[in-house]
């Protein structure tokens, strides 16, 4: 039985005056896609306002800025995702879908900033006892944001083999989705800051 999905209500914010007016005129959207650089008010302030006025609205940052300052400030302000404007349309759609469920979405180059910051704070490495070398390799690539196709091409495997490795990794680690795998890889220090 196919479950019909409810449309995601999205508000695009490129001018801070639109935020207050948009929220006043309509029910809070599921996702607000916010530009960091706006005239008169930063996207960081807008993110705080949206989260205060509509706590159930998830904020996704869409920006040209690929640097730590904006990234960490927007996360602290309450953003659930961060996507660069150079991203493919499919990445933006995936980010909106993830944000609508309250799931984090970080553009791969930005995710490396988070990994780097974490590694500087937690230098100890743990072992990966339950995983084989190949599974650790697949886990690292998954955590870097690679698709099954990219992993298969890079490791000269079939997509089905990659999916089997992912299934085994999740079963061995008692995890259920990609977000948990990424957190595990970061916690274990599998992803190096310059990867």
Name the pairing type of β-strands 79-84 and 31-34.
unpaired
Using DSSP, state whether 57 is helix, strand or coil.
Answer: coil
Kindly tell me if the per-residue pLDDT of 164 is higher than 90. Answer: yes
Q: Are residues 92 and 125 in the same domain?
A: no
Residues 29 and 80 placed together within one structural domain of the fold: yes
Mean pLDDT of 82-103: 88
Query: pTM to 2 decimals?
Result: 0.55
Name which of 110-114, 117-121, 170-174 the model is least confident about.
117-121
194 — pLDDT class (breaks 50, 70, 90):
very low
Q: Given this model, what pLDDT does residue 25 score?
A: 65
Q: Reply yes or no on whether the pLDDT at 119 is more than 80.
A: no
Burial, 155: exposed, middle or buried (Cβ in 10 Å; 0-12, 13-18, 19+)? middle
For residues 62 and 38, state if they share a domain.
Answer: yes
For residue 50, what are the CA distances in angstroms to 16, 46, 68, 104? 10, 6, 22, 17
Structure confidence at residue 73 (pLDDT): 84
For residue 123, the SS3 value is coil
Domain count, the chain: 2
CA angle 89, 94, 95 (to 5 degrees): 95
- Looking at the chain, the whole-number percentage of residues with pLDDT higher than 70 is 79
158 pLDDT above the threshold of 90: yes
- DSSP H helices, 27-107, are 43-53, 68-77, 89-100
Across the chain, mean pLDDT equals 79
Q: How far apart are CA 108 and CA 135, in angstroms?
A: 20
Segment 128-138 mean pLDDT: 83
Residue 186 has pLDDT above 80, yes or no: no
Last residue of a domain, one of 83, 106, 129: 106
CB 143 within 8 A of CB 186: yes
More confident residue, 98 or 37: 98
Helix (H) or strand (E) holding 181: helix 178-187
Q: Is residue 183 part of a domain?
A: yes
DSSP 41: S
């Amino acid at each position: 039985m196919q479950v019909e999905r409810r449309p995601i209500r999205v508000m695009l914010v490129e001018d801070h005056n639109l935020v207050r007016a948009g929220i006043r005129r309509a029910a809070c959207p599921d996702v607000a896609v916010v530009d960091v650089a706006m005239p008169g008010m930063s996207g960081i302030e807008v993110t705080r306002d949206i989260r205060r006025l509509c706590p159930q609205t998830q904020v996704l940052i869409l920006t040209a800025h690929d640097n730590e300052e904006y990234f960490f400030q927007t996360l602290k302000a309450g953003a659930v995702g961060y996507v660069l404007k150079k991203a493919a349309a499919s990445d933006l759609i995936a980010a909106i879908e993830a944000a609508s469920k309250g799931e984090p979405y970080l553009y791969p180059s930005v995710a490396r900033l988070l990994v780097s910051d974490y590694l500087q704070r937690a230098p100890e490495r743990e072992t990966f006892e339950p995983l084989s070398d190949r599974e650790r390799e697949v886990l690292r690539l998954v955590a870097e944001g690679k698709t099954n196709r990219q992993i298969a091409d890079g490791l000269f495997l079939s997509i089905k083999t990659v999916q089997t490795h992912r299934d085994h990794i999740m079963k061995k680690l008692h995890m259920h989705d990609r977000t948990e795998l990424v957190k595990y890889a970061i916690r274990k220090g599998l992803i190096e800051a310059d990867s």
